[in-house]
Structures are given as structure tokens and as C-alpha cells.
Amino acid sequence: MANQANRKKGRKYDQTFKQQVLQKVRNGASVPSVALELGISEGIIYAWKQKNEQQDDSRLATLERENAQL
């Protein structure tokens, strides 16, 4: 029970904040420097980056299918 009380609760970040973080990385800032600047873990930035890339790939595939139908 004591372990549960000492565990950190996950922070929630809104979509705007995530996109701002990813924009810094796209603009050439390193993930470690952005993480240090904002006080968040590198791992969460890498996870957001991966999820964003997967969503972009999915959107691209959808557009390619739609174009093929035209």
C-alpha cells in the first residue's frame, strides 16, 4: 500500500503542447535538449514522435487509396 502512495501519477499533456514539443524537434532541437528545457522525459518525446509518424503514415495511405479511386 505504501508503494502505491509513493508512485508518481502520470501527467497529462494536451495535444497543443505535444505538437509544440514535436515542432521544436522538427526544427532541429535535439530530443534530450527539449526534454531538459521542458522538464519532461526523453522517452515521452520519442513516444509522441513515433505515434505522430504512425498517424502521418496512416493519413498518407488513406490519401493514396482515395487518389487511386479517382
Per-residue pLDDT tens for 8-67?
Answer: 566 789 999 999 999 999 999 999 999 999 999 999 999 999 998 888 777 777 878 888
CA atoms within 13 A on the CB side of 22: 16
Report the alpha-carbon distance of residue 48 to residue 60 in Å, rounded. 18
Q: Is the pTM of this model over 0.75?
A: no
HEC string of 19-66 equals: HHHHHHHHCCCCHHHHHHHHCCCHHHHHHHHHHHHHHHHHHHHHHHHH
Classify 67 as helix, strand or coil. helix
